[in-house]
Structures are given as C-alpha cells and as structure tokens.
Structure 1
Amino acid sequence: MKLILREDVDKLGESGDIVEVRAGYGRNYLIPQGKAMMATDGALKQVERMKEQAERRAELTVERAQDMAERLETTSVTIPVEVGEDERIHGSVTTQDIADALAERDIEIDKRKITLDQEIKTLGEYTATISLISEIKAQIKVWVVKE
C-alpha cells in the first residue's frame, strides 16, 4: 500500500514522504490516526506543490535572516545602569535588557535567541550573539554605562 505521510513517523519517514507499507498497518493505524493519506495522483500533485511552497518560504526566511544579521552587525546598544561602589552594577544586565534596548531601535528579537559570552556585572563593552536561524548568527556590541 502506497501512502503519503502527513507527519513524521518513527522508523518510517518524515512528513511528505511517499512510503510503501503493509495494507493492515496503513489501513488500521496510519490513516485513522491522521498520520498518512492514500497516495492518489491528486494527492501526489498536492504534496509536490506543498514541497515547492515550503522551499520558497525557507529561501525567503534565509534571505530575511541574512539581511537582519547584516543590520545587527552594525548595531550597538547602550544600557544605562545604576552602580554602587567600585563601579559594580546592582544585579546584572540580562538578555531581556538587551532585547528591550533593541526594541527601542525597532529591532524585535526574542530574548531566548540572545546569548551572552559572560555575565555582565560591571561597566564596559560586551559582545552578545543573536541566533536568527540555525546557521545564521550575528554579534552586537553592548555598552554598559553609568546611569
């Protein structure tokens, strides 16, 4: 029995794959669970169109991420903080603080995508890495100054 997988199935294939399975497995498990559909001519054409659309969306996403990375590489943020003795910060500067500073410049970045090379507990210049998509990352300069 030839089926088209609608979602990833362990030890069988990924979503969109065309697989050959035993009739009972397909008819009694995969199709009723919504994990697969019959591989008819119309369904095969539909899957091909969906794959093409997904590839185009992925290309656009990569292009947008590269544009954003170029924009971020030229960006630095200044975060004013309260300091005590010895120029030490009360608390520390977090990824949320950096995300808020970027938002003031109309750059929306999720704080979970920002990683710091080290904890920011004193005044100075630091580097933060922003993961846009898996292979595209950007580094920004973070200036921590006295309020």
Structure 2
Amino acid sequence: MKLILREDVNKLGDAGDMVEVRAGYGRNYLIPQGKAMMATEGALKQLERMKEKAERRAELTIEAAQDMAERLETTSVTISVSVGEDERIHGSVTNQDVADALDERDITIDKRKISLDQDIKTLGEYTATINLVGEIKPQIKVWVVKQ
C-alpha cells in the first residue's frame, strides 16, 4: 500500500515522503491517526502545493530572523544584581534574566533560545547566544553590574 506521510513517523519517514507499507498498518493505524493519506493523483498534487507554501513560509521566517539578528547584534543588556563579599552575586544570572532584560527593550525572545556561554556568578561582561532559526545565531553583550 502506497501512502504519503502527513507528519514524521519514527523509523518510517518524514512528512511528505511517499512510503510503501503493509495494508493493515496503513489502514488500521497510519490513516485513522491522521499520520498518512492514500497516494492518489489528487493527494500528490495537494502535497506539491503544501510543499510550495511551506517553502514560502520558511523564506519569510528566515528573512524575519535575519532582520532580528541584525537588531540583536547591536544590542547589549545591563542586568543589575545584589552582590556580597568579593563582588560575588547572590545566586546567578540566568537566561530568563537576559530574556526579561531584552523584553524591557521591546525585543521578545523565548528564554529557551538564549544560551549563556558560561555561568554568570560575578560582575562583568558576558556573551549570550540567541538561537533564532537554523544557523542564524546572533550574540549579545550582557553587562552584570552592582545594584
């Protein structure tokens, strides 16, 4: 039985692939779960249209990410923290703190996309990398200062 996968199926294929499976597996699991559809002429044409739309959306996403990357490259954030003896921070500065500081500058970035190059436990200048889309990973300066 020939099917077109609508979504990634483990050990079978990726979304958009045409696969050959046993009739029972396709009829009783893949099709009812919405993971695949029969490979008819109409379905193949629909698949081509869906791929074209996905490519156009991906191009727009990459363009927006490049614009955001240019904006982020020129941005630095300052985070003020309370310190104890020897200028050591109580706790540490996290990616959530960096996301909050960016949000104050009207730049909304999910904290899971921010990675700090090292643990921030003292005052100083650090670098954070933002994972936007694919290989677009701008870096921002993070200044940690005394409150």
TM-score by length of 2: 0.88
Q: Does 1:83 align with 2:83?
A: yes
Distance 1:10 1:96, change over 3 A: closer
Alignment of 1:1-147 (within 5 A): 1-147=1-147
2:11 and 2:120 mapped to 1: Cα distance? Answer: 46
Please report how far the alpha carbon of residue 25 of structure 1 lies from its aligned counterpart in structure 2 after TM superposition. Answer: 4.1
Percent identity, aligned pairs only, is 85
Q: Provide Cα deviations, 1:112-133, integer angstroms capped at 9, x if missing partner.
A: 1111122112111111111112
Of Structure 1 and Structure 2, which has the larger fraction of its residues in strand?
1
Please report how far the alpha carbon of residue 22 of structure 1 lies from its aligned counterpart in structure 2 after TM superposition. Answer: 4.3
Distance 1:90 1:20, change over 3 A: closer
Q: Which moved more, 1:15-24 or 1:119-128?
A: 15-24
1:121 and 1:24 mapped to 2: Cα distance? Answer: 58
Please report how far the alpha carbon of residue 49 of structure 1 lies from its aligned counterpart in structure 2 after TM superposition. Answer: 0.7
Q: Which moved more, 1:96-105 or 1:20-29?
A: 20-29
Identify unmatched segments of 5+ residues in structure 1: none
2:81 and 2:17 mapped to 1: Cα distance? Answer: 54
TM-score by length of 1: 0.88
2:139 and 2:32 mapped to 1: Cα distance? Answer: 48
Distance 1:32 1:93, change over 3 A: closer
Q: Provide Cα deviations, 1:36-78, integer angstroms capped at 9, x if missing partner.
A: 2122222211111111111111111111111111111100001
1:6 and 1:68 mapped to 2: Cα distance? Answer: 31
2:27 and 2:85 mapped to 1: Cα distance? Answer: 73
For these two proteins, the number of residue pairs brought into alignment is 147
1:22 and 1:92 mapped to 2: Cα distance? Answer: 55
Q: Secondary structure at the match of 1:144?
A: strand
